[in-house]
């Protein structure tokens, strides 16, 4: 049986597939038009962040499983896959630590102005130290949008390491879970008005697309920071750029963009008070191995008739009576 790798993954995943007896083939490009041509005769695919569209799924004639290397499945047309009875899997729990650490790195870099002060010393501006512009995070309020695996880990680490006050907005968790990290479950407006740092860890879906726009950013303190570790379209990039350039908020950080890679005219690229990273929070040396092995194991499980660990489209498969 053949497994198609749409974008490169760590060799540990490839070796696992080969040692289970599968033939591994590589897409010549992640462009859906190209993948649609190369999907014929393929039994399983491993997908990273590239779009896996209905155009591809329509052309699939042997596909049984789409295994997402990572968590967010917004790039996969799950409805089309489910109609054809194709299982969609992901690898939850393998990247929580890496993304939580990246979030905290950004929180610290923003509050201590690491990028600015390093640059200042290099250009002879030692006097930047007299601006008294860096802050402590001890005791500050951290607002977490999306209290799942990553959001709750960020909360736990920031509570334990930095004694931060934790506010949570998540319509699908109960307050008892939030209490475990000594946090408070609040509405979005309270979170935005009271937080010194807001960090986004919700999935991208119809409900969260555009969740943070001008109205929400204007609710935030002018001294506050906002961080997006989830998906670009959850916030309105143009509104964030205006908030940063017009001083509605102090700073921001993001690992994700509405379009990836961002266009060179993206307004966020022109601002100094935002820290940018190229969707790599989960790409630590350790995590790429966990994701490669996890996604490969999912393909092996399905193609050898075992129950995979994490099926994303279980209820849709039931709806279409495909399971
Ligand atoms: P998760 O499913 O464990 O948690 C998501 C949480 O968001 C859940 O608690 C859910 O109830 C909550 N949520 C759903 N709708 C919401 C809404 N409208 N408002 C607020 N909260 C809402 O997922 P996770 O593993 O914690 O990952 C979260 C997201 O982070 C993923 O969906 C993915 O898009 C993103 N992610 C990014 C990277 C990266 O490299 N930057 C890596 C991994 C995950």
Q: Which atom of ligand 1 is nearest to the CA of 231?
A: 34
Residue among 94, 92, 85 at smallest CA distance from 63: 85
Do the first three CATH levels of 2-94+286-319 and 96-276 match, i.e. the same topology? yes
Task: Give the pLDDT score at 323.
Answer: 77
For the chain, domain boundaries:
2-94+286-319, 96-276
Residue 10 falls in the annotated catalytic set: no
pLDDT digit string, tens, across residues 64-91: 999 999 999 999 999 999 999 999 999 9
pLDDT tens sequence across 14-67: 999 999 999 999 999 999 999 999 999 999 999 999 999 999 999 999 999 999
Protein residue with least CA distance to atom 1, ligand 1: 148
For 189-206, write each residue's pLDDT tens digit. Answer: 999 999 999 999 999 999
Global pTM value: 0.95
Nearest CA to ligand 1 atom 41: 229
Tell me how far CA of residue 262 lies from CA of 169, 246, 266, in angstroms.
28, 22, 6
Candidates 23, 207, 260, 286; catalytic one? 260
- Domain 96-276 bears CATH identifier 3.40.50.720: yes
Residue-level pLDDT at 82: 96
Give pLDDT tens digits along the chain (323 positions): 999 999 999 999 999 999 999 999 999 999 999 999 999 999 999 999 999 999 999 999 999 999 999 999 999 999 999 999 999 999 999 999 999 999 999 999 999 999 999 999 999 999 999 999 999 999 999 999 999 999 999 999 999 999 999 999 999 999 999 999 999 999 999 999 999 999 999 999 999 999 999 999 999 999 999 999 999 999 999 999 999 999 999 999 999 999 999 999 999 999 999 999 999 999 999 999 999 999 999 999 999 999 999 999 999 998 888 87
Which long-range contacts (C-beta less than 8 Å, at least 24 apart) are formed by 14-18? 14/292, 14/296, 16/292, 16/293, 16/296, 16/297, 16/300, 17/296, 17/299, 17/300
191 burial class (0-12, 13-18, 19+ CB within 10 angstroms)?
A: buried
Provide the strand spans (E) within the chain. Answer: 2-5, 23-26, 44-47, 65-68, 87-89, 141-145, 165-169, 184-185, 197-200, 225-228, 251-254, 274-276
Instruction: Give DSSP secondary structure letters for 85-131.
Output: T-EEE--TTSSHHHHHHHHHHHHHHHHTTHHHHHHHHHTT-GGGGGG
2-94+286-319 fold: Rossmann fold (3.40.50)
* Strands of 2-5's sheet in order across: 23-26, 2-5, 44-47, 65-68, 87-89
Q: How far is the CA of 82 from the centre of ligand 1 (A)?
A: 22
Report which protein residue has its CA nearest ligand 1's atom 43.
Answer: 71
- Ligand 1 pocket (Cβ < 6 Å) reads 70-72, 92, 95, 99, 145-151, 169-173, 201-204, 207-208, 229-231, 255-256, 279, 281-282
């Amino acid at each position: 049986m053949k497994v198609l790798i749409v974008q490169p993954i760590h060799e540990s995943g490839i070796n696992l597939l080969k040692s289970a007896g599968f033939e591994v083939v590589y897409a010549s490009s992640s462009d859906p038009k190209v993948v649609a041509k190369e999907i014929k005769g393929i039994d399983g695919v491993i997908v990273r962040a590239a779009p896996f569209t209905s155009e591809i799924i329509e052309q699939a004639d042997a596909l049984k499983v789409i295994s997402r290397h990572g968590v967010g499945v917004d790039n996969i047309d799950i409805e089309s896959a489910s109609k054809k009875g194709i299982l969609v899997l992901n690898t939850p729990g393998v990247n929580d630590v890496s993304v939580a650490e990246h979030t905290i790195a950004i929180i610290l870099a923003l509050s201590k102005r690491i990028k600015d002060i390093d640059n200042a010393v290099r250009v002879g501006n030692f006097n930047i130290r007299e601006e008294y512009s860096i802050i402590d995070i001890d005791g500050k309020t951290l607002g977490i949008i999306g209290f799942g695996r990553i959001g709750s880990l960020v909360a736990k680490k920031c509570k334990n390491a930095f004694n931060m006050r934790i506010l949570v907005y998540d319509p699908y968790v109960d307050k008892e879970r939030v209490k475990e990290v000594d946090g408070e479950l609040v509405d979005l407006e309270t979170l935005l008005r009271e937080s010194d740092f807001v960090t986004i860890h919700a999935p991208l879906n119809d409900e969260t697309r555009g969740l943070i726009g001008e109205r929400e950013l204007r609710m935030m303190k002018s001294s506050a920071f906002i961080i997006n570790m989830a998906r670009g379209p959850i916030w309105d990039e143009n509104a964030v750029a205006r908030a940063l350039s017009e001083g509605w908020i102090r700073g921001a950080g993001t690992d994700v963009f509405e379009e990836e890679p961002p266009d060179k005219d993206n307004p966020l690229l022109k601002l100094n008070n935002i820290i940018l990273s190229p969707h790599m929070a989960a790409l630590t040396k350790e995590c790429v191995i966990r994701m490669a092995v996890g996604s490969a194991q999912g393909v092996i499980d399905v193609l050898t008739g075992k129950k995979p660990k994490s099926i994303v489209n279980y209820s849709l498969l039931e709806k279409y009576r495909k399971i």
